Amino acid sequence: MKTALTLAMVAALAVTALAATPKANPTQLPTPVVQAMNMVNVNTATVAQLETLPGIGPKTAAEIIKNRPYKNAADFRAKVKRIGNAEWAKIEKRVSFK
């Protein structure tokens, strides 16, 4: 009984801690964290890595590579004409610039 109560308390504390943690902006995280989140750095990614992003094929990947470097999302969207609002909405949470 005491063990079950202890486990329940630990689980409740863990849930509370996770809920209170602010959401990180993936474009500002250190590289190991970005990799762990399945992020793609558009300034260093290969064609194959870029193609893991939803809706990015070989032509868009080539355009992304051709127009490097990118400072931020606005710079990226201004330089890569093949990515409109719908495409950006699909990839924005998986793209990093550092």
How many beta carbons lie within 10 A of that of residue 91, not counting itself? 19
- Greater pLDDT, 20 or 33: 33
**DSSP 8-state secondary structure symbol assigned to residue 72:** S
**DSSP 8-state secondary structure symbol assigned to residue 93:** G
Average pLDDT over residues 40-68: 97
Helix (H) or strand (E) holding 95: strand 95-96
Residue 22 in this model has a pLDDT that exceeds 90: no
Tell me the percentage of the chain whose pLDDT exceeds 70: 62
Q: How confident is the model at residue 15 (pLDDT cuts 50, 70, 90)?
A: very low
For the chain, domains (ranges, CATH) are 25-96 (1.10.150.320)
